[in-house]
A and B are shown apart, each in its own frame.
Chain A
């Protein structure tokens, strides 16, 4: 009979005792103190040692065997459990590690690209509108305090225009669960811009309002924003949404391109190259010329 050297401990005292382990049929044979002990294989549990640590055999009476010769004990008892074996394989094989690392990078990328938007889409409707509005209010307050934006400097006429825009926005987006709120703010630092806060709050800067005189052109920006929840990378999708809304109300999808071109012309009076200065509307947005041709439609040149 093959015997393997082991260290036996009773689990109650710290002393270890040298022992020998063998197997007869479906029983484990333990030889120590010149005596024989038998355990049914079904009652014992083999625990694989992590990395370079010895294996441990858990005996049903609370005793343990520490076995340094891991290959021998695993062969004797009939192998590790499936989980232990795969864990061991993963720890030992560089190829497995390399494959897993690639898989992990792919998982991270897929999660960022697809799972995050999916989760955002699923979770966003679950957040009460009141909570979103509270969040928007605190963000707005913070922005006001930071000095990045200030109260609008515009007079009565512009305020009337704001009310009209807000109304039109609600009409353009009839299925929305929000009551849209369009706010005007003076933002010399930011320039002509518009941004969406949670809960249907849309902030339009005075600078943008001054730049775009036509209401229908101005309106497309908030419509596009209303659908861009989580990432600018998804702006193309938001654009498509805006085009569809415009078409549904008998408006030209070219309007989005027009308003973007006006902003670009204003922020880059000398359009010598395609480089954008940091902080401008365009720094992290898709290319304006591409966005000016909705779904392959050729738009007439920018009207004055």
Chain B
């Protein structure tokens, strides 16, 4: 099945091992509908099962070099996690009028973040597999606190200007401890590229502002010329028209914010993924994500527009088209073929440091 159809080695003697995504919008829509409906009927309890089914479907339709990914999380474990999350949220909401307790909860959340991150990654990676090989996260809580402290200190001391390095410190910790078999991922220095991604995101924000302005202007003109606005004012009063205007502008602002944030997130992921290498003995590989900026710009604008116009119903379509676009352009450039990898060693699987950020980056890709 896998490792069958190998792709011609590019110049430099490298293999291009592609990712592929075969999920269909139709099937995912159905899955999503059943999930939503059952979650409502069961007062949210089914959401844990819904998550497992969704992850199984999306990962099951994601392949690398013909090998399928899979998800193995147990719904009961997820349900417990969600209950704890719900309790935390309730504590946060109900403590709003008691400033001291509220602040204490906020401090606790910040203090627990590095530990929580490790717990989340362990669960996530241990329950994700490629070709039925489980990923693993080997980072310790102590290392996590060190990495987070360094990253936050750098961020605060530089007043945010050094964020690429802060991001790099955190990502390096995550990547360096995410393993698959004995393969080891590494994040190469990419501060300059991260700065460029930030600049690109700013330019994208300006583009989206223009786009939202043009669409808003057209709707405004149509509403005015067709007499719709006048009709509203006559029928329901000027106050109603003002309220409608406020809703209209809030929607445009939401469109702009969502598109910009979506673009920025993807632009940063693109840099991180393109600077991720995989090393194991004689094998050298690196991830290549060749998604053109122009496509990214169009993707996020059309996504948010569709989401707003469909009142959220376009969500499954958006998710599938986004994943398809991302995974179609993602591949692993390798010095040899993965089937030849000595991924398995007779040693205890628990105590070797394998893999890297592959899983974490995949996690980003798969919209966790």
Which residues of A does B touch, CB under 8 Å? 7, 9-16, 49-53, 56, 64, 66, 87, 90-91, 97, 100-101, 103-104, 107-108, 131, 134-135, 138, 277-279
Contact = CB atoms under 8 A, between A and B. Distances in A.
Contacts of B146: none
Contacts of A66: 68
A52 to B, nearest CB: 6
A16 B49 contact: no
A8 B134 CA distance: 16
A13 to B, nearest CB: 4
A112 B131 CA distance: 46
Contacts of A14: 2-3, 67, 130-131, 133, 181, 338-339, 341, 343
B61 interface: yes
B40 interface: yes
Tell me what chain A mostly uses at the interface: helix, strand, loop, or mixed: mixed
Contact of B49 (A87, A97, A131, A277): A87
Interface in B335-368: 338-339, 341, 343-344, 349
Nearest to B180: A14
Give the bracket for the number of chain B residues in contact with chain A: 35 or more
B67 A91 contact: no
Contacts of B344: 10, 12-13
19 contacts: A11-B132, A12-B133, A12-B349, A13-B344, A14-B181, A14-B343, A15-B3, A16-B2, A50-B31, A52-B27, A53-B56, A87-B53, A90-B34, A91-B31, A97-B30, A104-B36, A131-B98, A135-B97, A278-B237
A50 B54 CA distance: 8
Interface string B1-44: 11100000000000000000000000110110110111011010
B41 A51 contact: no
B31 A51 contact: yes
B123 interface: no
A16 B131 contact: yes
Most buried by B among A16, A87, A138: A16
A12 B339 CA distance: 12
B132 A64 contact: yes
A278 B236 contact: yes
B239 interface: yes
Contacts of A11: 132-134
B139 interface: no
Interface of B: 1-3, 27-28, 30-31, 33-34, 36-38, 40-41, 43, 49, 53, 56-57, 60-61, 67-68, 70, 97-98, 130-134, 181, 236-237, 239-240, 338-339, 341, 343-344, 349
Contact of A51 (B2, B27, B36): B27
Q: Which 6 A-B pairs have the closest CB atoms?
A: A14-B131, A104-B40, A13-B344, A53-B60, A9-B132, A12-B344
A63 to B, nearest CB: 8
A131 B102 CA distance: 13
Given A13-B133, A278-B237, A278-B240, A107 B31 contact: no
Contacts of A104: 36-37, 40-41
Given A13-B343, A14-B67, A103-B41, 4 more contacts: A12-B349, A13-B131, A14-B133, A15-B2
A289 B56 CA distance: 60
B240 A12 contact: no
Nearest to A92: B30
Contacts of B56: 50, 53
Contact of A134 (B67, B97, B341): B97
B38 A90 contact: yes
Contacts of B33: 97, 101
A153 to B, nearest CB: 24
Given A9-B132, A87-B53, A278-B236, A51 B30 contact: yes
B352 to A, nearest CB: 12
A49 B71 CA distance: 11
Contact of A16 (B1, B134, B239): B1
Most buried by B among A14, A56, A97, A104: A14
Contacts of B28: 51
A107 B41 contact: yes
B60 A49 contact: yes
Most buried by A among B1, B31, B131, B341: B131
A260 to B, nearest CB: 23
A64 B124 CA distance: 20
Contacts of B240: 278
Nearest to B66: A16
Contact of A53 (B41, B61, B97): B61
A101 B37 contact: yes
B57 A51 contact: yes
B22 to A, nearest CB: 9
Contact of B1 (A7, A64, A107, A135): A7
A9 B38 CA distance: 34
